[in-house]
């Protein structure tokens, strides 16, 4: 796909007519580019000292690119469902490695209210990681979500492809992409 940047693929993801196969292909390329940028920022030598923390289910769409580039990195799993009535995160599953690496990379394509990302960051801090050792990588954020997460971890540790201006009354990103997990997994 040449010298394209991750943001060059956003119009395809935003297009409601994009089918599952094309959405996956474009998402996988964005994940690869995000991973390369993240490793460049963190330093290749630190790849084995980072724990990958995809948020189930949409975070699984980005995980293969990161796991491939960092094959020794342990993977923790955090399952959080969004309560559609309250837009609050509802934790239903966690699994962390027995020995925590010194850094963590939260992987979640969407950062709307930042409730989920803040919950995961808080959990990691309770496990002993300092806030500056926690990083977030995603595809799209709302301005509100970005500001909220930057109140928990350093703003320089947050990397997204684009920031959209607002949330609608249901707390979805506008203009957004839609439900990333549903679109990626075809459900």
The predicted-structure confidence for 94-111, as pLDDT tens digits, reads as follows 999 988 899 999 999 999
Selected catalytic residue, list 18, 32, 38, 82: 82
pTM of the full structure: 0.92
Average pLDDT over residues 114-130: 96
pLDDT (0 to 100) of residue 46:
63
- The domain segmentation of the chain, as residue ranges, is 6-185
Kindly indicate the confidence band of residue 47, based on its pLDDT and cuts at 50, 70 and 90: low
Contacts of 21 (CB under 8 A, 6+ apart): none
Tell whether omega for the bond before 77 is within 30 degrees of 0, i.e. cis. Answer: no
Q: Looking at residue 1, what is its pLDDT?
A: 46
Cα distance between residue 7 and residue 25, in whole Å: 14
Token pair of 66, please? 């990161």
pLDDT of 2 > 80? The answer is no
Name 30's bridge partners: none
User: Is the model's pLDDT at 186 over the cut of 80?
Assistant: yes
List residues bridging with 160 in a β-sheet: 138
Q: Is 82 a catalytic residue?
A: yes
Contact (Cβ atoms closer than 8 angstroms) between residue 121 and residue 105 = no
The reply to whether 182 belongs to the active site is yes
Model pLDDT, residue 48 = 66
**pLDDT for 109:** 95
In this prediction, residues 14-37 reach a mean pLDDT of: 94
Percent of residues, the chain, with pLDDT higher than 70: 96
Tokens (6 digits) for 41: 């920022």
Q: Average pLDDT for residues 164-180, to the nearest whole number? A: 90
Separation of alpha carbons 24 and 57, rounded Å: 14
Catalytic residue among 41, 86, 90, 156: 86
**164 and 133 in contact (C-beta within 8 Å)?**
no
- Examine the pLDDT at 45 and tell me if it is beyond 80: no
Look over the chain and give the mean of its residue pLDDT values, rounded to a whole number.
Answer: 91
Is 6-185 in CATH node 3.40.50.2020?
yes
Is 86 designated active site? Answer: yes
Q: Give, for 54, the enclosing helix (H) or strand (E).
A: strand 50-56
C-alpha 75/C-alpha 54 separation (Å) is 8
Asked whether the beta carbons of 161 and 140 are under 8 A apart, the reply is yes
| Residue 24 tokens, joined | 């996956």
113 flagged as catalytic: no
178 φ/ψ sector (left φ>0, alpha ψ -120 to 50, else beta) = left
């Amino acid at each position: 796909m040449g010298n394209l940047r991750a943001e060059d693929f956003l119009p395809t993801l935003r297009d409601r007519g994009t089918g599952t196969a094309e959405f996956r292909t474009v998402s996988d390329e964005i994940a690869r580019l995000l991973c390369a940028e993240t490793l460049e920022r963190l330093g290749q030598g630190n790849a084995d000292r980072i724990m990958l923390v995809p948020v189930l289910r949409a975070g699984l769409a980005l995980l293969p690119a990161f796991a491939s580039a960092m094959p020794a990195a342990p993977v923790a799993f955090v399952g959080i469902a969004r309560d559609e009535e309250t837009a609050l995160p509802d934790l239903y599953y966690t699994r962390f490695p027995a020995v925590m690496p010194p850094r963590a990379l939260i992987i979640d394509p969407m950062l709307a209210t930042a409730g989920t990302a803040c919950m995961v960051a808080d959990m990691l801090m309770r496990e002993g990681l300092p806030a500056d050792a926690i990083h977030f990588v995603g595809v799209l954020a709302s301005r509100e979500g970005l500001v909220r997460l930057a109140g928990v971890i350093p703003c320089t540790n947050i990397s997204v492809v684009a920031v959209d201006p607002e949330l609608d009354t249901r707390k979805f990103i506008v203009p957004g992409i839609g439900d990333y997990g549903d679109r990626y997994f075809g459900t």
